[in-house]
Chain A
Amino acid sequence: MTATDEVLHRHGLTREEYQRILEMLGREPTITELGIFSVMWSEHCSYKSSRVHLKTLPTTGKRVLQGPGENAGAVDIGDGYAAVFKIESHNHPSFIEPYQGAATGVGGIIRDIFTMGARPIALLNSLRFGPLEDPLVRRTFAGVVAGIAGYGNSIGIPTVGGEIAFDESYTGNPLVNVFCLGISKADEIIKGVASGAGNAVYYVGSKTGRDGIHGATMASAEFDEKSAEKRPAVQVGDPFMEKLLLEACLEVMQTDALIGIQDMGAAGLTCSTCEMGSRGGAGVEIDVAAVPQRESGMTPYEIMLSESQERMLLVVKSGREAEVERIFEKWDLHAVHIGQVTTDGRMRVKDHGTVVADIPTAALTDEAPVYKRPMATPAYLAEAQQLSLGSLDAPPPVAEALRRLLASPGIASKRWVYRQYDHMVRTNTLVFPGMGAGVVRVKETGRALALSVDGNGRFVYLDPFHGAQLAVAEAARNVACAGATPIGATNCLNFGNPEKADIMWQFARAVEGIGAACRALDIPITGGNVSLYNETDGKGVLPTPVLGVVGVIEQADTVVRRTFRGDGDAIVLLGDSYDELGGSEYLKVIHGLVKGVPPKLDLTGESALQRVLVKGIAGGLIRSAHDCAEGGLAVTLAECCFDTPFGAVADLAAVDASVVAFAEVAALFGESASRVIVSVDRSRTAELETLATEADVPVAVIGRVGGNRLRVAIAGRQVLDEAVADLERIWANAIGHHFESQRAIA
């Protein structure tokens, strides 16, 4: 067929890319082939804009069992076990249809994990929305949360943590990033390869329908007012089918009849077929007529591009087919033989025996286009980095500022959200959502894993390199606050349109920042996901790299939470505070500004701080630990009191209150990095001081746990004296208030 500009546009291909297809095939593509190239060369599948940058990330280490390139990464967690994990985005579908978009995002990442032979044991999510005052945002928010709950709860994988932030830039383009972690024996990890000529290719799971055709291409384009019309491109999830697939596949993996397996996610049957062939250095031949179909009259084009959910592709050893079929039948699943592995390195698609596509697998994978897109420093940057505190309105009284921060949905309790998630099923959850990093025990080894997802789009907007480093540091610090040593990370990079030079610059600088921080903290990146084109009507979201960090706690029972534990315990601040307000929640909430430069970060100091936390917690010295993030020390101290019967008395003596009014604000609400509030038994403060000092970590006893008020002074001058119960009520109810007196949203 000869492709017109209109046909190419609909397939998201440029004229140059089409030219390349002609050269690779030596002829014009069939319509099925054009569709296949279209999805495999989409940004979503090919990483064509991001690949050159991603290559610079550190991906190896002594614990890494599987780096990027497979369905998920894997790290060694001791005693012969591996943690298999990855984060993935489902941003675009979640805007179009919040419930199903989010639900199928959960389904997709779970399949990536069990495909590797691991039993999924924990989910987390990182979400971004516009302001909750907007009724459309509330609908999206409620729908996304219900979708995540509906899928994860049903399949029985606990959602143990996550983070949510709000900013106007996400109003028309929410971010829904889902992280899943599974456990497998380290030597039983399964890969997505097709090899061994003559081995059978099996299809199992839901039937193929017309849903989700061109989902990958949709995820590679910006939104405009016509996006609502793209609803047919969003798929519908069936968590029960996924549960059957999960159990049946794990059972099949216990046999040695399996060569490789891959789920059909983005780009469906097309992607799974050619990627498995490419990884195994083999070819794959299938006949679409054998593929179970939900509707009649589907064309090969539609079957190959469908993104119907809950489908798997397996390569089974020749002669072992009956054994595998029997296991699927036990679970009432019908495994269908749709083709075989070949030796010629080609993906050959037939329809009732007639060839409709015949493409070298490499052309679709390794030889897909790679772009070094032009980059330029964004025009907004210089002005945005200027922060003149003197020109701001006079700050409100600090007590009022604290109340407003606690009511801000980014800081407020997320109980309204996580109460909808089954966070306890499997009885491994040691630290519940809202209490710090999510912590799950590994029953088999006596260890536990701490998991955190973090990212601050404001910081990255104001300085991508630095902001991305801060995201790595925060996620790692959060797992260290539970007592875990960070051992691996996955990232989800949410940015705007990479064809714009300033967006590409943001992306490149952020990846450099992640790489630098991961190297310094010795945390390899084992995989992840890139989501570009997060724009609506030409306006991009805040650049939002989200880091998911996994840490190991050697003895599960030593874990600590954010909450104070004993009346009279000493409150100790680890880390230095600076006069920093750039990009803070305070500036946003109180002054409506996203300005200045993000807090400075010394990676050597960060690393030392995390080691002190791990050591102090393992030895039972540190009784609680809470990272000082959004809202600064004042909010952090308040949060250490919430969900406890205790108050706190503290003096931030280090701050000289004689300078301008904003110095006081910076002391209370500034977000200087690498700071943690810990509590210790009063008789053991000297021990902690020694431990910290020897590691060159700044340490200061700032107060004690007690009473039922939050009393904060600066160099002896009382600046806050509030009843904890009053503050807690504000914090606990803020998100729910947005949904009260409204009808429930289905």
Chain B
Amino acid sequence: MKFAVVVFPGSNCDHDAYHAARHVLGQEAVFVWHKDTSLQGADAVVLPGGFAHGDYLRTGAIARFSPIMPEVKRFADAGGPVLGICNGFQVLLEAGLLPGAMLRNRSVKFQCEHVIVKVEQTDTPFTSACRPGQLLRIPIAHGEGNYYAEPDVVARLEQNRQVIFRYASVDGAATADANPNGSVNNIAGLCSDRRNVVGLMPHPERACELAVGSADGLVVLESVVKSVGHGAFAAAR
């Protein structure tokens, strides 16, 4: 399958996503410049981490105006799998593809460390290869990852099983101690109503090889390879 990795001028995890897809998973991957308007026939889109336009305003606030974004939105509306990682998640929030917003971390500091996230739902293209409740040890690296939404929105997300990843302790409990940034309900990642757009703050692409500390994140990318292989999203291309 073919991954499109969107490159905003301040993306800095674009190479990491590309490396994981291309060299670790052995799939096809292309970089798509944010000023382009074509996703080059990709089967899945990754909005990578970084600081899309410096993010001196709100994270991701300018990226949603990039020329590629209408095409990403069209792809998502057609049911195509879209993964937003870290800054990519923030961009999805700003673009209205996922609900809610990010506040500064509770610590008021940038935090880079491994955390544990629990896979809450497996019926998305990015968790289809996971076991329900599977615990993944993957890193976070952000200053604004404190997910917030109005209580009614959060209630709806929970009710519709749209919370896909939750920060958890080693035994899988969503405790306050396990929550690195203050996110409401320990939310680490979400999916859209149609479940094909997924955003998460932790970096699965940084956890695809044991040599760099963990390979737990690989299953996220393997999931979409599996889903696409089943022909689930051919209509989106």
Contacts and interface: CB of A to CB of B under 8 A. Distances in A.
Given A153-B110, A419-B113, A425-B12, A430 B211 contact: yes
A428 interface: yes
A424 B112 contact: yes
Nearest to B11: A156
A218 B50 CA distance: 35
Contact of B56 (A240, A428, A430, A556): A240
Given A149-B110, A744-B109, A443 B19 contact: yes
Interface residues of A, number: 36
Contacts of B19: 427, 443
Contact of B213 (A238, A422, A424): A424
Given A149-B110, A243-B9, A243-B12, A422 B141 contact: yes
Contacts of B55: 154, 240
A426 B15 contact: yes
A695 B107 CA distance: 51
17 contacts: A146-B109, A150-B110, A155-B12, A239-B51, A240-B51, A243-B12, A244-B9, A330-B35, A418-B112, A419-B113, A420-B110, A424-B141, A425-B12, A425-B206, A426-B12, A430-B211, A441-B211
B10 interface: yes
B12 A156 contact: yes
B212 A427 contact: yes
Interface of B: 9-13, 15-16, 19-20, 23, 33, 35, 49-51, 53-56, 107-113, 139, 141, 143, 203, 205-206, 208-209, 211-213
Contacts of B49: 425
A60 to B, nearest CB: 34
B111 to A, nearest CB: 6
Contacts of B10: 154, 240, 243-244
Interface string A142-183: 000010011001111000000000000000000000000000
Nearest to B12: A156
A557 B107 CA distance: 35
Contacts of A443: 19, 23
Interface string A421-449: 11111111110100000000101000000
A371 interface: no
A247 interface: yes
B213 A432 contact: yes
A419 B181 CA distance: 13
A367 interface: no
Contacts of A430: 211-212
B73 to A, nearest CB: 23
A277 B31 CA distance: 38
B177 to A, nearest CB: 15
A226 B23 CA distance: 56
A366 interface: no
Given A146-B109, A427-B212, A332 B50 contact: no
Given A153-B141, A244-B9, A427-B206, A238 B54 contact: yes
A391 B225 CA distance: 73
B55 to A, nearest CB: 8
A557 B16 CA distance: 19
Nearest to B13: A425
A238 B55 CA distance: 11
- Listed from nearest, the 6 A-B pairs whose CB atoms lie closest are A156-B12, A240-B54, A744-B108, A422-B141, A427-B16, A154-B51
B212 A331 contact: no
B19 to A, nearest CB: 6
Contact of B205 (A153, A154, A423, A427): A427
Interface in A700-743: none
A443 B208 CA distance: 14
Contact of B50 (A156, A420, A423): A156
A667 B141 CA distance: 42
Contacts of A330: 33, 35
Contact of B212 (A154, A332, A428, A744): A428
A241 B51 CA distance: 11
B54 A154 contact: yes
Contacts of B206: 424-425, 427
A413 to B, nearest CB: 13
Contacts of B141: 153, 422, 424-425
A419 B23 CA distance: 28
B74 to A, nearest CB: 24
A331 B33 CA distance: 10
Contacts of A155: 12
Contacts of B15: 426
A418 B15 CA distance: 23
A422 B112 contact: yes
A371 to B, nearest CB: 43
Contact of A423 (B13, B108, B112, B211): B112
A448 to B, nearest CB: 9
Nearest to B209: A427
A443 B20 CA distance: 12
B96 to A, nearest CB: 24
Nearest to B208: A427
A244 B108 CA distance: 27
B182 to A, nearest CB: 13
Contacts of A424: 112, 139, 141, 203, 206, 212-213
Contacts of B33: 330
Contacts of B112: 153, 418-424
Given A238-B54, A419-B112, A420-B111, A156 B9 contact: no
Contacts of A421: 110, 112
A422 B145 CA distance: 14
Nearest to B51: A154
A241 B54 CA distance: 8
A104 B13 CA distance: 22
Nearest to B52: A240
Most buried by B among A150, A424, A556: A424
A425 B16 contact: yes
A428 B20 CA distance: 12
B114 to A, nearest CB: 9
- The listed residue with most A CB atoms (<10 A of its CB), out of B53, B110, B112, B213, is B112
A422 B16 CA distance: 14
Contacts of A429: 212-213
A243 B12 CA distance: 9
Contacts of B54: 154, 238-241, 243
B128 to A, nearest CB: 24
A239 B56 CA distance: 10
Residue of A243, A332, A425, A427 with most chain B CB atoms under a 10 A cut-off: A427
Nearest to B19: A427
B57 to A, nearest CB: 11
A154 B51 CA distance: 6
A156 B49 CA distance: 9
Contacts of B13: 156, 425
B20 to A, nearest CB: 8
A425 B86 CA distance: 12
Given A331-B9, A424-B112, A426-B15, 11 more contacts: A153-B143, A154-B10, A239-B54, A240-B51, A330-B35, A420-B109, A421-B112, A424-B203, A425-B49, A432-B213, A443-B19
A606 B206 CA distance: 37
A149 B143 CA distance: 10
A370 to B, nearest CB: 42
A241 B9 CA distance: 10
Nearest to A556: B211
Given A240-B56, A243-B9, A443-B19, A419 B111 contact: yes
A239 B51 CA distance: 10
A441 B16 CA distance: 13
Contacts of A744: 107-109
Nearest to A743: B108
Nearest to B54: A240
Contacts of B139: 424
A332 B12 contact: no
A430 B206 CA distance: 12
B167 to A, nearest CB: 16
